[in-house]
């Protein structure tokens, strides 16, 4: 039976970069394209970065019993929902998967697929460094949304509190001060099982 490696961390911790690096070096890992109601960002590709959808479609999946988990963030631009849907993308009889997530989605994935099948990969970076990274990344957008960067930064302090990390059953952490070292460490643990 395959496993789902759920990669998570606060915003600007580098989880997306680490995710891409792991997939480059472990191409046999399956991936999952999440659903979201938020607007597409510059550089994102529809149905590759996310399945961009609306609340009506998320509700339809829910009524069909296909909603694994969803979470809605009340952003400065209105509510944005992210959802994991049982749409056939994940088949644990065929392979292991690497999926980005949050503590909440990690918990729901464990409930849905079983605790033994879902493995946490928690990435962390010192808060000051994270904020600098977030601002630099946002500066590259055509229309930077600094208020949203601040909202996410503050919300992450509560969402990823030490109590919540402990309650989720996460004991191992990967420091992302050096992308190569962080990626190497995670891959070693994935390969070991």
Q: Give 117-161 pLDDT, tens digit per residue.
A: 999 999 999 999 999 999 999 999 888 989 989 988 999 999 999
pLDDT value for 122: 98
Tell me the whole-structure pTM to 2 decimals: 0.88
On the CB side of 182, CA atoms within 13 Å amount to 23
Q: Evaluate if residue 10 carries a pLDDT over 90.
A: yes
Q: Which residue(s) pair with 8 in the sheet? A: 101, 122
pLDDT value for 37: 97
C-alpha separations of 30 from 40, 104, 106, 139, 170 in Å = 23, 21, 17, 32, 22
User: Residue 32 and residue 42: Cα distance in Å, rounded?
Assistant: 21
Q: Write 56-63 long-range contacts (CB < 8 A, 24+).
A: 58/83, 61/35, 61/85, 61/87
Displacement of CA 62 from its chain's centroid (Å):
20
Q: Evaluate if residue 193 carries a pLDDT over 80.
A: no
Max intra-chain CA distance, the chain: 45
**pLDDT, tens digit, 9 for 90 and up, residues 29-58:** 999 999 999 999 888 999 999 999 999 999
User: Residue 45 and residue 53: Cα distance in Å, rounded?
Assistant: 13
pLDDT value for 74: 87
Of 178, 168, 32, nearest to 103 by C-alpha is 168
Instruction: Read off the tokens for 30.
Output: 């399956």
Stretch 102-114: mean pLDDT = 95
């Amino acid at each position: 039976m395959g496993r789902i490696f759920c990669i998570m961390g606060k915003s600007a911790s580098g989880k997306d970069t680490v995710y891409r690096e792991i997939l480059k070096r472990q191409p046999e890992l399956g991936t999952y394209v999440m659903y979201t109601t938020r607007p597409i960002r510059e550089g994102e590709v529809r149905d590759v970065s996310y399945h961009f959808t609306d609340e009506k479609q998320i509700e339809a999946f829910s009524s069909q019993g296909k909603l694994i988990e969803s979470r809605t963030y009340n952003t400065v631009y209105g509510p944005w929902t992210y959802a994991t849907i049982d749409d056939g993308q994940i088949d644990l009889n065929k392979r292991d998967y690497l999926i980005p997530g949050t503590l909440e989605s990690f918990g729901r994935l464990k409930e849905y697929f079983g605790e033994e099948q879902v493995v946490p990969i928690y990435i962390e970076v010192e808060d000051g460094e994270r904020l600098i990274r977030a601002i630099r990344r946002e500066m590259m957008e055509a229309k930077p949304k600094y208020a949203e960067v601040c909202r996410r930064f503050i919300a992450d302090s509560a969402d990823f509190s030490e109590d919540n990390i402990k309650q989720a059953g996460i004991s191992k952490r990967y420091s992302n001060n050096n992308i190569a070292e962080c990626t190497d460490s995670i891959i070693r643990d994935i390969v070991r099982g």
